[in-house]
Amino acid sequence: MNIIVLWLLVTPLFFALGWIAGRIDMKTVIRQAKQLPKRLYDGIDALIDNRSGIAAENIRDIITQEPQLTELHLSLGKLYRNRGENDIAIKSHTKLLNSQFLLSTDAKDKVRLELAKDYQQAGLVDRAEGLLLKLIDSELYSHKAQEQLLNIYQQDKNWKDAIVTAKKLASSDYSFHTEVAQFNCELAQETLIKSDHVLATEYIHKALEINRKCVRANILLGELYYNQEDYAQALSTWQSIEKQNFLYIPMVIEKIFESYIKLNRLKEGLTLLRGYITLYPQLNLCDVMYQKLINYESPTDILEYLRITMKNHPNAKAASKIIDIHLNNMNHNLSTDTKPDAEIIKNILRNYNDKLARFRCGRCNFKAQTFFWQCPACYEWESISPISYE
């Protein structure tokens, strides 16, 4: 009888204790649930205000308390990387990769991809490459891994692996023809330095096979012929650039003219040069016009060409040359007072022109005084216009 009474007393007590324990857990959960958004919002707010350090602290605190929030943990690593804190990003992503909460292979691959970016940014390219190569067979992240590998191979000037990877990435959406042709041109250029003309020719032809509009390949091929004293082939190769993209004519015009001289066909060279100046005044060919035509044409004719250029493409360089013609033209009646002034203005224009950034990337607006086939800022190929924009 006593035992039954005891059970009758104890059983509700157990229920009561369970209920209290449940209440305590629920309170914790509710408290955490209330705190989590608050700290998360604080973090987002800090990010909006460009206080990424505060944002990182907030997110790190949340993750310490809620390690199961793996996506947030992944973002924290990215945030560290964006802040340039590569070591902390690597540690954060490595910790996440070893986390018991990261269960699926896809989730792990996603972290590996970010970790590879951390390594790359930290300059640990070999580690990044090793990690990315393991992701090639990943169901979800193979494409992104190969894109990143292509990026690494270009940075390393590993053009052969870059070609293989770009070909794998090629699709109906994006062919990678421009890039693969440029990689072949890079190989051709490296091979030309080693005087291996046969191999260089192979790379150039590969570039043209994959992209018949590849001007750089024809520039290199023309140089190869010219160095072998095959001036006729060099000439026809460089002249074909006009059909590929006439904007690149300024890059070969001097060489074309030199080839005509070597072939004792000066008259044809002059006719072609005059033709280009008249047909493409926007190309601002005044340098070559001045250096080459000055020996064969009258100052009045050259002045006329410069005026055509100025009309279509007003620029300091052509203006300084117009003044120069007036100064050096013996028949011209510049007064003794006027000449020193003209000289000063000419020099100011010339110096101004020398300081100008002549080339601009159409993609990221990067400006430079020298021409690049690949933009050093955004790494896009053939995004910098070959004609001076100033």
CA 245 – CA 299 distance, rounded (Å)? 31
361 sits near Zn ion (criterion: CB under 5 A): yes
Residue 357 is a binding residue for Zn ion (CB under 5 A) = no
Binding residue for Zn ion, selected from 239, 363, 371, 386, defined by CB under 5 A: 363
For Cα atoms 258, 259, 265, give the angle at the middle one, nearest 5 degrees.
100
DSSP character string of 289-320: IIIIITTTS-HHHHHHHHHHHHHHS--HHHHH
d(CA 149, CA 130): 10
Q: Decide: is 366 part of the binding site for Zn ion (CB under 5 A).
A: yes
Smallest separation, CB 365 to Zn ion (Å) = 7
Does position 377 bind Zn ion by CB under 5 A?
yes
Alpha helices in the chain (DSSP H): 2-48, 52-65, 70-82, 86-97, 105-121, 125-134, 142-155, 159-169, 177-193, 197-210, 215-227, 231-239, 241-245, 253-262, 266-279, 286-288, 299-312, 316-328, 338-355
**Segment interacting with Zn ion, rule: CB under 5 A, options 97-105, 153-161, 280-288, 365-373:** 365-373
Which of 266/364 has CB closer to Zn ion?
364
Tell me whether residue 255 or residue 360 sits nearer to Zn ion (CB atom). 360
Q: Annotate 171-186 with DSSP letters as a single string.
A: -SS---HHHHHHHHHH
The least distance separating Zn ion from the CB of residue 76, rounded to whole angstroms, comes to 30
208 contributes a contact to Zn ion by CB under 5 A:
no
Q: By CB under 5 A, is residue 166 in contact with Zn ion?
A: no
**What does the alpha-carbon distance between residue 43 and residue 57 come to, in Å, rounded to a whole number?**
8
- Mark 305-344 with x for binding to Zn ion (rule: CB under 5 A) and - for no binding: ----------------------------------------
- Residue from 199, 266, 364, 368 touching Zn ion (CB under 5 A): that is 364
Give the position of tokens 């970010």. Answer: 114
Tell the smallest beta-carbon distance from residue 220 to Zn ion (Å). Answer: 23
**C-alpha closest to that of 257 among 292, 286, 233:** 292
381 binds Zn ion (CB under 5 A): no
How many residues bind Zn ion (CB under 5 A)? The answer is 7
The answer to whether residue 136 forms part of the interface with Zn ion (CB under 5 A) is no
| Binding interface with Zn ion (CB under 5 A) | 361, 363-364, 366, 375, 377-378
